[in-house]
Amino acid sequence: MSSHQPDDRVHTPVAEELTDGEHSGAAVAVVAVLCFGGLVASLMQTLVIPIQPELPRLLNTSISNASWVITATLLAAAVAMPIAGRLGDMFGKQRIMLGSAALLVVGSLICALGGSLIPMIIGRAVQGLAMGFIPVGISLMREVTPPKLTSMAVAAMSATLGVGGAIGLPLSAWVAQSFDWRALFWVAAGLAVVVTLLVAFLVPHVDDSNGGRFDIVGAVGLALGLSGMLIAVSKGNDWGWGSGTTLGLLVGGLAILLLWGVFELRHSDPLVDLRTTARPSVLLTNVAAIAIGFGMMAQAVVMPQLLEIPKAMGGLGQTLLAAGLWMAPGGLMMLVFAPVSGTLINKIGAKFTMAIGAAVLGLGYFGAFLLMNAPWQLAVASVICSAGVGIGYAAMPTLIMSSVPMQEAGAAVGLNGLMRSIGTTSASAVMALVLTSSTVSYGSVEVPSHSAFQWCFLIGAIAAFIGVAITLSIPAARKRAAAKAESDATDLTPAAQA
């Protein structure tokens, strides 16, 4: 039985052994490698957005089929995060990160060499699987950093989830405009090779494997259930929310997840320990992650559209590259606020830090609601929103890891990443629905109305403040410690042992 004591801070017992007497520069180097790897993995989420309008022509397919190039990555990433986390707990985190980096190399090469739809979808799905690098890297932080550095390191690694996507847009737009579109994937493959080598030679292989059997049935059930549900949500606007395909996938996905939950509760070595996940501190953090993930994605979907619509049609008339550059400071702000978040976590705890982050995100959306008449105004609102995301995202894994045993950290952080993915996928669907529900016609072209954009910003603010309310309801550390002690005592009874 684990002797783990919940707290609002990250504990690093293994790290104390590893770093005693060693120069802190070595730990900083490891953190830098992990953050760079997370940045490259998350960059894949927005890699093809600049060429999305051209994909049907480039791949000789329909617009609907071409959209799977993006959907495949999102689905694979959502499924990969909890599975990679569990594998990291079982076989060692450095090994799984090395495997994730290798998958990124393979996926990028498939996309670079393939010239048709099917190879592109396969390659993009393999790229999405590499997102498992991030939760495993976050859970490794407390094992390879001294206590004084852990909160900062976790915050920086968490921020890469947003930073990679934000800087990926202008970077990809520049590459796509300056070179052949395949250059995007050759660049991705080169970056992935660098990550693979850095992880292999600079990240220490900590003896943190806990063994156990991999729950194959649980992994397949989770993949099928999530795929059905997330495909229905992401494609509902295209297929129609009342269509048989959408409803069938949504209901079928939810049914599979319910059966998966029953199976996991009865399994002796489950993929996800649902009893641990059901603890109020973990459950509420994950629910808040959905709300904050929703808020983060809303700006990524809405603001670029408003920036790129021609001025004659009520937009701000920016090119794709210019829109990406206006959004880029927001992504960098997430990284800038990572140390701020780490400091707040150490001083006031992860719970209140996450609440502050969600509140700042909500205020950013209110700013966008009031100021959306010039690119610089949206840039300011984006910076505020991104600061909130940076603070909130950094605190989430700290709350999760302080509430679960060390040997379950990878799976728990991976599940938290999945919850964020559900939030971002839902945001994409909701924002698309709002933007298409109120349009203005300019000849044969229809664009979202001014009020549609305002509604999107208002919904984003509401989601963020719901995240604040949920976060503030998370039990305090002392209550969690008492509940954990009572749970441990129950587990030691003869009935429980039987």
Residue 240 makes CB contacts below 8 A (sequence gap 6+) with 246
| Structure tokens belonging to residue 291 | 């709300």
Tens of pLDDT, residue by residue over 298-332, are 777 788 888 888 888 878 888 877 877 888 788 77
Residue 427 makes CB contacts below 8 A (sequence gap 6+) with 293, 294, 295, 296, 297, 298, 301, 460, 463
Low-confidence ranges of the chain (pLDDT < 50): 1-23, 480, 482-483, 488-498
pLDDT at 209: 65
Q: Which helix (H) or strand (E) holds 150?
A: helix 147-178
Alpha-carbon Rg for the chain, nearest whole angstrom, is 22
CATH classification for the domain delimited by 13-214+271-497, as one of 3.30.2320.20, 3.90.25.10, 3.40.47.10, 1.20.1250.20? 1.20.1250.20
Q: Is 270 helix (H, G, I), strand (E, B) or coil?
A: coil
Place of tokens 């587990």: 491
pLDDT at 164: 72
Residue 281 makes CB contacts below 8 A (sequence gap 6+) with 6, 399, 402, 403, 474, 475, 480
Alpha helices by DSSP H, listed for 179-312, are 183-202, 216-239, 244-266, 274-277, 280-308
pLDDT at 24: 64
Query: What residue ranges do the domains of the chain occupy?
Result: 13-214+271-497, 215-270
pLDDT at 119: 92
pLDDT at 85: 85
- Determine the distance from the C-alpha atom of residue 142 to the mean position of all C-alpha atoms in its chain, rounded to a whole number: 20
- pTM here is 0.77
Q: Which of 112, 160, 98 is nearest to 338 (CA)?
A: 160
Quote the strand ranges of 41-150, DSSP E.
Answer: none
Q: Write down how long the chain is.
A: 498
pLDDT at 220: 92
Amino acid in position 410: G
pLDDT at 12: 43
- Within a 10 A sphere around the Cβ of 149, how many other Cβ atoms? 22
Alpha carbons 427 and 389: distance in angstroms, whole number: 15
The DSSP call for residue 373 is S
